[in-house]
């Protein structure tokens, strides 16, 4: 029996390591998005600062571990065997949920997931106990610490609203003071601003860190907390003087210092506050196991866990090891970068709206429309001079061509500083009331509030940003609901079917992680491919032409594949091929739409001295690709539906005509690729002739179909589909040949560049 429960404890810690990895991938956004979004330093420096903060915070985090032991349920009401079921259900659910959200690139709360997983699993086990003991359902309140659970949940929900409002107000005031012309305003207010911010960070780190330091006596902690006002005043004066001296001597960038200090403080808070979410449960399970062993390993079904009510220090070695795992994950995790990208994208200052990650919703459109109406009404009341002054503070100077690079910051260091300072202060206040706030919720909503005040949500992007914010918030509520339900179901099944189900659920969790990793790798590969093909404003005309050629070749290959596979799949009545073609067609449709959305950016990238109408021909190219995408959609979709509905296939004469046509169009496709790859513009005339031959074939096929209708060889549905195939193929060929004609106009300039 001892060995069996020892194995379960080992499983708990194995799940904890996995949970640390997926959890850090999710929560890295909390303390990295401001530094990375504002690009205050090279990524290596940001990671070093954050890693030190994590290690310090992890070492001093033992005080928060009590939430996992007694924050949600009354441990004395459960036996050792039941506690292990609760803890294992929590860890299995946590690994699955967090990995899923990381794969989707959505930041969620590890605190919320832990709270609702503990609640769900405890409720599941409690209901089984109540049913088996013949107790009334109302006795559930004896098992669940509902008062504490409600306090934690309400604190988390209130923090969402408070973080957004406070972030918006403070950022608005700060921007009025500093404007976007930081070179001027920082000379006058920079050191005072730096002193205030770093003093706030000091307060934050004292509140979050000092109570967990084992080598500081209670008397010293009481003295510090009773004199916090004096300490902050001295800190403000000291940092202001130090920053002023450094500014005079070395011309340092004060906001960059603030952002790096804030990153350290928030990373420390993350490790101190959120480490409980990953290792608190396994540590509690290990402590329960030791207590059970100390009692002589009596019947695990009768040994109650009253000992979990007391204070139990967490071994420092476990905390340090956890910190190291978190640091390694932080540096190596691609999923962490994916989650960070979501928050940065939603708060970036550029509000053109072309590359928005989320689509608009009816709610976001209505909200923006009403906000515009209210804004117009308010502007009529406010004096015009005041409006003019406020607008001048939010005026952004035009970027120079060198600033319009792919690597430009998403927002400036002033906003990054406010993000970190306000997040830190709000988390400190929550900690002082002993509420394990969600650092994810607080930091995300502060970032959204500051971006709103900074007018990052312009009319071109507001509906998409608002939809994104509500998508993330909706994901948070889904986290809570999913965590409660899944943990409850797992705990119930294990309680009823036996503990062998634990290993089945662990295997299932491992399988899901592997599947989501495969999905993530595929998406990451597609994203990298898109980035490699993306035309930047820093590209010269030659680079634009080179990337365009690559895009065209890849597009023609996909077009050829979709057309030939679609016709063959339909003629063979092969549903699997047609489903595959449907996916390829939809993906190509998305890709062609993205290319068209980026037209303004590409035109900006084409240099003014270009005399070959490159911009015009690029527009024609992209429009042709888009029209080809439409033709493929109108061609493939009716075939797919015809096959899915089990309608009669084409008759032999129709199949033969389409098969012969496929052979001819394959020759046309191959020759067009050869012309494009070898830049043989003189062969475009030959290509046009091949296209005309194909058009003549379509005319013959159309006439033959008319004859079949007169002879009543085909029914109406069959005839309509055959005519549709001919019509869309004709449209397809017209746009295809126009694309090839336009592409050849790039060749002379590229050849001239090559000769030079």
Give the pLDDT confidence of 479-491 residue by residue, as tens digits: 888 889 999 999 9
Q: Quick one: 474 and 536 in the same domain?
A: no
Report the alpha-carbon angle 192-196-202, nearest 5.
140
Three-state DSSP at 536 gives coil
Q: Quick one: 299 and 429 in the same domain?
A: yes
Q: Quick one: 479 and 592 in the same domain?
A: no
What is the torsional sign of CA 630, 635, 636, 642?
positive
Is residue 526 a part of any domain in this protein? no
Residue 379 CA: distances (Å) to CA of 5, 383, 386, 388, 389:
69, 8, 10, 11, 13
The highest-confidence range among 102-116, 421-435, 703-717, by mean pLDDT, is 703-717
For the cut 60, the answer to whether the pLDDT of residue 207 exceeds it is yes
Average pLDDT of span 153-167: 84
Per-residue pLDDT at 664:
92
Is residue 572 a part of any domain in this protein? yes
Q: Quick one: 96 and 198 in the same domain?
A: yes
Is residue 204 a part of any domain in this protein? yes
More confident residue, 536 or 381: 381
For 86-125, write each residue's pLDDT tens digit: 888 888 888 888 777 777 666 677 777 878 888 889 889 8
Residue 169's pLDDT band (boundaries 50, 70, 90)? very high
Q: Quick one: 336 and 457 in the same domain?
A: yes
For the cut 90, the answer to whether the pLDDT of residue 343 exceeds it is no
Per-residue pLDDT at 695:
93
Per-residue pLDDT at 208:
58
Is residue 505 a part of any domain in this protein? yes
Residue at a domain's end among 521, 541, 576: 521
Mean pLDDT, the chain, rounded, equals 80
Q: Quick one: 483 and 557 in the same domain?
A: no
Q: Which of 226-230, 405-409, 703-707 has the lowest mean pLDDT?
A: 405-409
Residue 577's pLDDT band (boundaries 50, 70, 90)? very high
**What percentage of residues in the chain have a pLDDT greater than 90?**
17
- Encoded tokens for 746: 């790039």
CB 447 within 8 A of CB 171: no
Per-residue pLDDT at 659:
93
> What is the tally of structural domains in the chain?
2
**What percentage of residues in the chain have a pLDDT greater than 70?**
82
Residue 115 CA: distances (Å) to CA of 73, 146, 148:
10, 12, 11
Residue 580's pLDDT band (boundaries 50, 70, 90)? very high
Residue at a domain's end among 496, 521, 546: 521
Report the alpha-carbon angle 282-336-405, nearest 5.
165
End-to-end Cα, the chain, rounded Å: 81
Per-residue pLDDT at 749:
47
Q: Quick one: 504 and 546 in the same domain?
A: no
Q: Quick one: 413 and 540 in the same domain?
A: no
- Please report, for the chain, how many H helices and E strands are present, in that order: 28, 0
Q: Which of 465-474, 513-522, 715-724 has the lowest mean pLDDT?
A: 513-522
Domain limits for position 205: 2-521
Q: Quick one: 571 and 686 in the same domain?
A: yes
Residue at a domain's end among 462, 497, 521: 521
Per-residue pLDDT at 142:
83
For 588-637, write each residue's pLDDT tens digit: 888 888 888 777 777 776 665 454 566 777 788 888 888 999 999 999 99
Q: Quick one: 469 and 618 in the same domain?
A: no
Residue 593 CA: distances (Å) to CA of 341, 586, 604, 729:
22, 11, 18, 20
C-alpha 447/C-alpha 418 separation (Å) is 9
Q: Quick one: 612 and 696 in the same domain?
A: yes
Phi, psi of 144 (to 5 degrees): -105, 135
Per-residue pLDDT at 639:
94
For 727-741, write each residue's pLDDT tens digit: 999 999 999 888 888
Three-state DSSP at 353 gives coil
Instruction: Please give the distance of CA 684 from its chain centroid, rounded to a whole number.
Output: 45
Per-residue pLDDT at 579:
92
Per-residue pLDDT at 228:
82
Check which CATH number belongs to the domain holding 606 and give it.
Answer: 1.20.58.220
CB 626 within 8 A of CB 737: no
Average pLDDT of span 575-590: 91
C-alpha 19/C-alpha 429 separation (Å) is 27
Residue 409 CA: distances (Å) to CA of 39, 95, 500:
6, 33, 52
Q: Which of 7-11, 237-241, 404-408 has the lowest mean pLDDT?
A: 404-408
CB 17 within 8 A of CB 325: yes
Q: Quick one: 576 and 664 in the same domain?
A: yes
C-alpha 533/C-alpha 545 separation (Å) is 11
Is residue 387 a part of any domain in this protein? yes
Q: Assign 3-class secondary structure to 431-462.
A: HHCCCCCCHHHHHHHHHHHHHHHCCCCCCCCH
Q: What is the H or E stretch that residue 580 is in?
A: helix 575-597
For 386-398, write each residue's pLDDT tens digit: 989 988 888 887 6
Per-residue pLDDT at 657:
93
Per-residue pLDDT at 353:
47
Residue 311's pLDDT band (boundaries 50, 70, 90)? low
Which residues are CB-neighbours of 733 under 8 A, at least 6 positions away? 691, 694, 695
């Amino acid at each position: 029996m001892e060995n069996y429960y020892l194995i379960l404890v080992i499983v708990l810690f194995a799940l904890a390591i996995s949970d640390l990895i997926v959890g850090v991938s999710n929560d890295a956004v909390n303390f990295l998005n401001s530094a990375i979004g504002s690009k205050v330093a090279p990524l290596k420096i940001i990671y070093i600062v954050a890693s030190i903060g994590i290690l310090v915070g992890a070492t001093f985090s033992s005080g928060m571990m009590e939430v996992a032991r007694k924050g949600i349920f009354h441990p004395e009401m459960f036996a050792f065997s039941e506690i292990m079921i609760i803890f294992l259900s929590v860890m299995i659910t946590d690994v699955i949920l967090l990995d899923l959200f990381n794969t989707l690139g959505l930041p969620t709360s590890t605190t919320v997931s832990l709270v609702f997983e503990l609640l769900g699993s405890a409720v599941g086990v409690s209901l089984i106990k109540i049913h088996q003991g013949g107790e009334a359902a109302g006795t559930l309140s004896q098992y669940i610490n509902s008062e504490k659970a409600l306090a934690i949940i309400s604190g988390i929900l209130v923090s969402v609203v408070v973080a957004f409002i406070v972030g918006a107000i403070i950022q608005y005031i700060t921007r009025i003071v500093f404007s976007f012309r930081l070179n001027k305003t920082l000379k006058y207010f920079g050191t005072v601003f730096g002193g205030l911010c770093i003093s706030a960070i000091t307060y934050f780190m004292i509140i979050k860190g000092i109570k967990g330091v084992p080598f500081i006596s209670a008397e010293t902690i009481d003295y510090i907390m009773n004199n916090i006002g004096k300490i902050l005043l001295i800190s403000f004066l000291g940092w202001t003087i130090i920053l002023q001296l450094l500014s005079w001597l070395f011309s340092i960038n004060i906001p960059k210092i603030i952002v790096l200090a804030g990153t350290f403080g928030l990373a420390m808070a993350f490790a101190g506050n959120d480490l409980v979410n990953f290792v608190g449960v396994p540590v509690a399970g290990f402590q329960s196991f030791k207590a059970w062993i100390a009692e002589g390993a009596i019947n695990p079904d009768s040994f109650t866990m009253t000992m979990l009510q007391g204070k139990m220090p967490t071994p420092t070695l476990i905390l340090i090891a956890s910190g190291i795992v978190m640091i390694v994950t932080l540096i190596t995790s691609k999923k962490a970068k994916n989650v960070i990208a979501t928050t940065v994208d939603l708060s970036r200052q550029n509000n053109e709206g072309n590359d928005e990650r989320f689509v608009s919703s009816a709610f976001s459109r209505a909200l923006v429309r009403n906000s515009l109406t209210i804004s117009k009404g308010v502007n009529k009341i406010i004096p015009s001079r005041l409006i003019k002054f406020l607008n001048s503070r939010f005026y952004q100077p035009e970027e120079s061509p060198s600033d319009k690079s792919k690597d430009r910051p998403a927002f400036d260091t002033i906003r990054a500083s406010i993000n970190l300072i306000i997040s830190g202060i709000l988390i400190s206040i929550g900690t002082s009331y002993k509420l394990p706030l969600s650092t994810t919720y607080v930091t995300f909503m502060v970032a959204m509030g500051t971006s709103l005040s900074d007018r990052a949500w312009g009319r071109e992007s507001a509906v998409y940003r608002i939809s994104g914010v509500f998508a993330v918030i909706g994901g948070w509520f889904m986290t809570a609901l999913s965590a409660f339900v899944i943990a409850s179901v797992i705990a119930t099944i294990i309680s009823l079917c036996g503990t062998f189900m634990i290993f089945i659920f662990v295997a299932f969790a491992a399988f899901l992680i592997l599947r989501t990793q495969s999905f993530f790798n595929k998406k990451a590969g597609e994203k990298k491919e898109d980035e490699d093909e993306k035309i930047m404003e820093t590209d010269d005309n030659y680079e634009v032409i080179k990337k365009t050629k690559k895009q065209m070749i890849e597009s023609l290959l996909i077009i050829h594949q979709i057309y030939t596979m679609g016709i063959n799949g339909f003629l063979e009545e092969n549903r699997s091929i047609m489903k595959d073609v449907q996916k390829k067609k939809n993906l190509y449709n998305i890709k062609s739409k993205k290319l068209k959305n980026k037209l303004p950016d590409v035109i900006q990238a084409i240099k003014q001295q270009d005399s070959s109408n490159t911009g015009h021909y690029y527009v024609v190219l992209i429009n042709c690709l888009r029209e080809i995408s439409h033709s493929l959609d109108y061609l493939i979709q009716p075939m797919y539906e015809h096959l899915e509905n089990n309608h009669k296939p084409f008759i032999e004469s129709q199949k033969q005509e389409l098969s012969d046509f496929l052979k001819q169009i394959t020759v046309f496709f191959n020759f067009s690729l050869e012309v494009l790859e070898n830049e043989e513009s003189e062969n475009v005339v030959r290509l046009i002739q091949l296209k005309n031959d194909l058009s003549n074939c379509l005319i013959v096929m159309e006439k033959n179909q008319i004859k079949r209708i007169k002879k009543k060889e085909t029914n109406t549905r069959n005839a309509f589909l055959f005519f549709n195939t001919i019509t869309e193929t004709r449209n397809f060929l017209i746009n295809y040949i126009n694309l090839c004609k336009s592409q050849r106009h790039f060749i002379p300039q590229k050849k001239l560049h090559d000769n030079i």
